[in-house]
Amino acid sequence: MLIPLAETGNRTLTISLFSAVVAVTLYITWWASRQNKTTADYYAGGRNFSGAQNGLAVAGDYMSAASFLGISGSIALYGYDGFLYSIGFLVAWLVALLLVAELLRNSGRFTMADQLAFRMKQKPVRTAAATSTIVVSIFYLLAQMVGAGSLVGLLLGVKSEGVKAGVIILVGALMIVYVTIGGMKGTTWVQIVKAVLLMTGTVLITFLVLLKFDFNISKLLGAAAANSGKGEAFLQPGLLYGKDLVGQIDFLSLGLALVLGTAGLPHILIRFYTVPDSRSARRSVQWAIGLIGAFYLMTLALGFGAAALINTAKGSPVAESKGNIASPTLAEAVGGGAGSVGGSILLALIAAVAFATILAVVAGLTLTSASSFAHDLYANVIAKTKPSEKSELRVARFAAIGIGAVAIALAIPAQKLNIAFLVALAFAVAASANLPSLLFNLFWKRFNTSGAVWSIYGGLISAVGLVVFSPVVSGKPTSMITGADFAWFPLSNPGIVSIPLGFLFGVLGTYLGKDRSSEDRYKELTVRALTGAGAETASKH
Amino acid sequence: MRERDARAYEAVHDAADFTELKRRYKNFVVPWTIAFMAWYLAYVACNNWARGFMNTQVIGHINVALIFGLLQFVSTFAIAAIYGRFANRKLDPLAAGLNAKYKRERRR
């Protein structure tokens, strides 16, 4: 039985809460649209958000449905190993805090490419950076939209492919509305509301779970181990990763991509432009670390709570959903069980939170791609003369519609792809293609245009290319293409090879390119990055 | 305009305070980045290659693996706080002074 949640008869409640989420977010979007006048408003929300507000929005952007439902579900099914993703995801923020956030805030304007374009030839670096921005964002976007389709289907108790496609189209349409009308200001407030909802919902369920075990962690773990049927092994490494040497190297590779990917995710990077100065950028990351860390700690209680309290055995609805409905099912159980009033209310509440999460994250990703298209490609590469702010904004809005449409068109046939794989791939590409050029540009004087271009395309092509020739795509019964085998690369995660390649290409390109003109403005870049002298300021309304 | 900006940047770049700011920043981030990366990779490696150690039970059902994982949270929170304190006290005042210098130079 795949659809246990329909029987609880709370579909009306779930749908009303979903509608409430949509109504509130649309109202925010409409409210924000009245203040969108300049490009700085549209791309960077006027740079008027406080560190705490942006910290919530960063956390909102980062805690996707994949981590809310995926990580707790993974813990519910695989115990301790399910927890490993969240550690890499959290430690990664130190790279962003120490090496990237403040310097980027001071040296860029709207997009990831701005910081490279500061001292390099505009056209080639903007084209390269926009390409990798859009590729990473689309992988991430696909993961969220595929997740949305199956998730909403599961929560509402419908499993027809048509309904899933309908949900994807609805989510896509809503995200286009948020982004075209609300811009960065609207999107940021949607993230803030979502982050508050998500934290509140998670705190509530965590409290109810811990209450059942007298706030004794060991008791909770013991019950989870016993109910999982796997005993102590459920609390130990090895159920999911590192079964043999290839598996162990694969796990190391995944760990590297997770820890180095965050600081190269374009939709996270452009969040640092929404605050007035580098000090607030620092505060945002500190807030984000606190919120995200607390959230991941609570997913432990959710995951082990689900393993202890609900049926996660092979063939159970939770196992069939790959763990994705573990949290909602747990919410129903701790609220009083299926059919009870408390259970129905909590289930509907958590489903609505998950829906808000998906909407907010896809909006952030669409905005990132649209901004990069309009600001990097259109304004600085395609247009013959510098376009007016008005026409650049028009292009950004059309780009948002275009990218939304592409995402919908790709997501419907991509239904069968594994969500965790798409997210991990986005992180691997971000770590291989974006992080090397960002760091080299900030810390290596000699780095030049060809170095940046080589590093971005080199990292991008090696990360995506290695996946194409990995067991993820062919050669195994679980592969995307069955019946063919061109998998000569043994790992599912390309990071351990593609990240060093991204850096290596950066060095090679720099020396082979010979160009030294980018050194002229390195002094300016370092002064600006470290002191904020001449950095973009908040707009005054 | 562009000329004047470039001269102002040059002046800030050559100031003794800027050399000091760069030195302080690098002396903080380089060792700390190496430290947290090594600490994280040690955790990943132990999950792969030190299972006996990781499986040791400490209190009830709580084993070394879980404690090691939770310590990654503790260290991340701690480093974020330490960096914030350091930047507020040692970096921000210098940066603010240099930023003011830049504004003065541009007006000349």
Q: What is the pLDDT of residues B33-59, one digit of tens each?
A: 999 999 999 999 999 999 999 999 999
pLDDT digits (tens, 9 = 90+) for A279-301: 999 999 999 999 999 999 999 99
Determine, for residues B77 and A217 on separate chains, whether the beta-carbon distance falls below 8 Å.
no
Q: SS3 of A8, please? A: helix
CB contact under 8 A, B18 and A527: yes
Cα–Cα dist A52/A12, whole Å: 36
Strand partners, A399: none
Residues of B in contact with A84 (CB under 8 A): 47, 69
Q: Is 90 exceeded by the pLDDT of residue B107?
A: no
A217 part of a folded domain? yes
As a whole number of angstroms, the distance between CA A528 and CA A513 comes to 26
Residues of chain A found within 8 Å of residue B13, distances taken between Cβ atoms? 523-524, 526-527
Structure token pair of residue A8? 């609880």
Cα separation of A375 and B45, whole Å?
42
The C-alpha atoms of residue A234 and residue A321 are separated, in whole angstroms, by 19
The reply to whether residue A235 touches residue B54, judged by beta carbons under 8 angstroms, is no
Backbone φ and ψ of A500, nearest 5°: -60, -35
Number of structural domains (chain B) is 1
For the stretch A80-90, pLDDT in tens is: 999 999 999 99
Strand partners, A474: A481
Q: What pLDDT is attached to residue B79?
A: 98
Chain A interface test: which of B61, B77, B101 (most A C-beta within 10 Å):
B61
Token pair recorded at residue A498: 């593609």
Please give the C-alpha separations between residue A255 and each of A135, A293, B68, in angstroms, as whole numbers.
21, 17, 15
pLDDT of residue A2: 38
pLDDT of B1 strictly over 70: no
Q: Using alpha carbons, select from A314, A333, A304, A231 the residue that is nearest to residue A71.
A: A304
How many beta-carbon pairs below 8 A join chains A and B?
A: 155
Q: Whole-prediction pTM value?
A: 0.94
Assigned token pair, A26: 């649309």
- Which residues on B lie below 8 Å from A533 (Cβ)? 8-9, 12, 98-99, 102-103
In a domain, residue A537? The reply is no
In DSSP terms, which residues pair with A481 in a beta bridge?
A474
What would the two tokens of residue A201 be? 């919902």
Quote the CA–CA distance of A318 and B95 in Å, as a whole number. Answer: 53
Q: How far is CA A93 from CA A97, A174, A288, B85, in A?
A: 6, 30, 8, 17
List, as ranges, residues 26-55 from B with C-beta within 8 Å of A: 28-29, 32-33, 36-37, 40-41, 43-45, 47-49, 51, 54-55
Please report the beta strands in A116-227, taking only residues with DSSP state E, as ranges in sequence order: none
Amino acid letter for position A102: E
Amino acid identity of residue A368, one-letter, is: T
Measure in Å the smallest separation between the Cα of B46 and chain A Cα atoms: 9
Q: Backbone phi, then psi, for B58, in 5-degree steps?
A: -105, -60
Q: Is residue A105 part of a domain?
A: yes
Write out the residue range of the structural domain in which residue B74 sits.
Answer: 2-107
Tell whether A536 is covered by a domain: no
In a domain, A539, yes or no: no
CB < 8 Å to B33, chain A: 94-95, 98-99
CATH code: domain of residue A173:
1.20.1730.10
- Structural domain includes residue A541: no
Averaged over B72-92, what is the pLDDT?
A: 97
Print the domain residue range for A197.
5-531
Per the domain annotation, does A363 fall within a domain? Answer: yes
Number of other residues whose CB lies within 10 A of the CB of residue A207? 13
Whole-complex ipTM:
0.97
- For residue A233, the surrounding DSSP H or E stretch is none
CB pair distance less than 8 Å for B73 and A251: no
The residue assigned the tokens 């090679």 is A508
Domain membership of residue A79 (yes or no) is yes
Number of domains in chain A: 1
Residue identified by tokens 């310097």 is A103
CA atoms of A219 and A212, how far apart (whole Å): 10
Collapsing DSSP states into helix, strand and coil, what is residue A420?
helix
